[in-house]
């Protein structure tokens, strides 16, 4: 999130990551850091980006999903 230089870089100007980030932060914290939740949120953001025509690079490998 700090640098916005990652697999979702091309999407950030098309679909704001702000709400996804906030929800992810809350949900992961409330689930004691469950990686499953992180992966679900990243999948939702990737899907939304793709629906809006943004190119999403491989996010599963770096995130461990």
Q: What is the pLDDT of residues 14-61, one digit of tens each?
A: 999 999 989 888 988 888 888 899 899 999 999 999 999 999 999 999
User: Does any domain span residue 2?
Assistant: no
Residue 4 has pLDDT above 70, yes or no: no
Distance CA 49, CA 51 (A): 5
Distance CA 30, CA 53 (A): 32
User: Does any domain span residue 52?
Assistant: yes
In this prediction the pTM is: 0.85
Band of pLDDT at residue 62, cut at 50, 70 and 90: confident
Name the residue range of residue 19's domain: 9-57
Q: How many domains does the chain have?
A: 1
Distance CA 23, CA 18 (A): 9
Q: Pick the residue with more confidence: 65 or 2? A: 65
């Amino acid at each position: 999130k700090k640098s916005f230089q990652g697999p979702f870089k091309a999407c950030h100007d098309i679909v704001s990551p702000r709400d996804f980030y906030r929800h992810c932060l809350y949900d992961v914290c409330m689930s004691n850091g469950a990686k499953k939740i992180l992966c679900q949120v990243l999948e939702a953001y990737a899907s939304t980006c793709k629906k809006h025509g943004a190119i999403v690079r491989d996010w599963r490998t770096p995130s461990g999903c």
